[in-house]
Chains A and B, each alone.
Chain A
């Protein structure tokens, strides 16, 4: 099963781009990469997902390397409300499970 590795914490200045890395070196060809975030004690919120191409939506951009072994979530203009724990997840091959890791705690400061 593909697992992910993320830094424990990161800081970002308000208004700057936040780039959150994720390593998923054992990902298989048909597994998607998902990003969620959890603000305080709320339920996790979906951000974006992708298979091999870069993706962009109103919240963020997802850059996946050509070999698919890593990806980066980009928040183009971080705000204080983006302070949260960000989870990078790979859908477990052959099963329907959605397994979370421990995530990256992003602190956006003024």
Chain B
């Protein structure tokens, strides 16, 4: 399995609080992605990174920010969590735009 770890795996937080999810890889892959998945929906891309300090928006980026200060870590931050951000969050990595992506096991976030 690709060396990709998401932390925490589960989190419950209150509305209005900041939350940071971490994706850590040991594969030295260039590309990293954050997705969210909600019941009845497929995976929706939030943000992605194509290198250190290089990031771009995905389909549903409002309310989220990301940072990538080193190759192995991609952080997803909810500045002020809302109930609509309750979801399962997946991180993915890939070596290039033509190689397959590998996914983490997900983080289940509940905002109450």
Residues of A within 8 A of B (CB): 32, 34, 36, 41-46, 49, 85, 87, 91, 95-103
Q: Tell me how many residue pairs across A and B have CB atoms closer than 8 Å.
A: 55
Does B77 belong to the interface (CB within 8 Å)?
no
Closest 8 CB pairs of A and B: A43-B103, A46-B100, A100-B43, A102-B42, A100-B42, A96-B50, A44-B103, A96-B97
* Cross-chain contact A43 with B98 (CB below 8 angstroms): no
Measured between alpha carbons, how far is A98 from B98 in the docked complex, in Å?
10
B45–A98 CB distance below 8 A: yes
User: B48: which of A42, A91, A96 is its contact (CB, 8 Å)?
Assistant: A96
The chain B residue with its CB closest to the CB of A98 is B101
Contact A99 B97, beta carbon cutoff 8 Å: no
Asked if residues A42 and B105 are in contact (CB atoms below 8 Å), the reply is yes
- Please determine whether B94 and A98 come into contact, CB atoms closer than 8 angstroms: yes
Contacts of A97 in B (CB 8 A): 45, 48, 56, 58
Nearest to B103 among chain A residues (CB) is A43
Assess whether B31 is interfacial by the CB under 8 Å rule. Answer: yes
Distance in Å from the Cβ of A90 to the closest Cβ of chain B?
12
> Which residues of chain A are within 8 angstroms of B70 by Cβ–Cβ distance?
none
26 residue pairs A–B, Cβ–Cβ below 8 Å: A34-B100, A41-B88, A42-B105, A43-B103, A43-B104, A43-B105, A44-B92, A45-B103, A46-B100, A46-B101, A49-B100, A91-B97, A91-B98, A96-B31, A96-B50, A96-B56, A97-B48, A98-B45, A98-B92, A98-B94, A98-B101, A99-B45, A100-B35, A100-B42, A100-B45, A101-B42
Q: Give the Cβ gap from A65 to chain B, nearest Cβ, in Å.
A: 20
B56 surroundings in chain A (CB, below 8 A): 95-97
Given contacts A43-B106, A96-B31, A97-B45, 16 further A-B contacts (CB under 8 A): A36-B101, A43-B105, A44-B90, A45-B103, A46-B100, A46-B102, A91-B98, A96-B56, A97-B48, A98-B48, A98-B94, A98-B101, A99-B58, A100-B44, A100-B45, A102-B41
B74 at the interface (CB under 8 A from A): no
Q: How far is the CB of A105 from chain B (nearest CB, A)?
A: 11
